[in-house]
Amino acid sequence: MGIFDKVFGKKIKTPGNRADAKFMSQYYGGASQDRLKSDWLVSSMNSTDANSYSAQVLRNRCRDLLRNDSVFAAVIGTFVTNVIGKGLSVQPMINAQRLGVSEDKATKIQEALQQAFKDWMPYADKAGILNFNEYQRLVFKKILIDGESIIIPTWNDTPWRPYGRCLQALESEELDVN
């Protein structure tokens, strides 16, 4: 008796005959060659090469569907509306004791932060086209269609903006993958 048998009180099943060998090989059924899998061709590319090869084709097909198939566009629009809804909102929770301020002062800070975020929301886009809620919808839609969304926090010192911090969206094709 081996150590496994002593610890667990069982014998390890080893393929000693045809029935046992069949039992052991069922875990590797995907590797078997039979008439159902004879035309299953696989590539030995790594996942990065395979993804970069097919990602652009998939993006183009999804974008084409969005432009030309009203059912697909309606599904995407409904999905974005149901997931994003009214969008994110900020609810700061100030720990007055940790900051060493009174509860009244912490409440005033929280209100000031909420107001600052509300003041910033219409100017979230660097180009000045979208507000923050529209930006959320755009980002989620890009994730559904393109598989990813790239947002860069940036700065814009335009005098009409209440805050310089803004967001800039990039197309995934703009990234250099080499």
Q: Give the model confidence (pLDDT) of 20-32 as tens digits.
A: 555 555 555 556 6
Return the closest-CA partner of residue 139 out of 174, 117, 168, 177: 168
In this structure, are 94 and 177 located in the same domain?
no
User: Six-digit token pair at 25?
Assistant: 């090989």
In this structure, are 96 and 168 located in the same domain?
no
Residue 85 lies in a domain: yes
In this structure, are 171 and 98 located in the same domain?
no
Kindly report the length of the chain.
178
Q: Which helix (H) or strand (E) holds 153?
A: strand 150-155
Residue 173 lies in a domain: yes
Which has more confidence, 34 or 67? Answer: 67
In this structure, are 138 and 172 located in the same domain?
yes
Residue range 48-107, pLDDT digits in tens: 666 666 777 888 888 999 999 999 999 999 999 999 998 888 899 989 999 899 999 999
pLDDT confidence of residue 18:
57
Residue 51 lies in a domain: no
Residue 140 lies in a domain: yes
In this structure, are 72 and 154 located in the same domain?
yes
Q: Are 62 and 145 in contact (CB under 8 A)?
A: yes
Residue 12 lies in a domain: no
Residue 108 lies in a domain: yes
Residue 33 pLDDT greater than 80, yes or no: no
pLDDT confidence of residue 92:
92
Domain coverage including residue 154: 60-89+124-178
Residue 176 lies in a domain: yes
Chain mean pLDDT for the chain: 82
Total domain count, the chain: 2
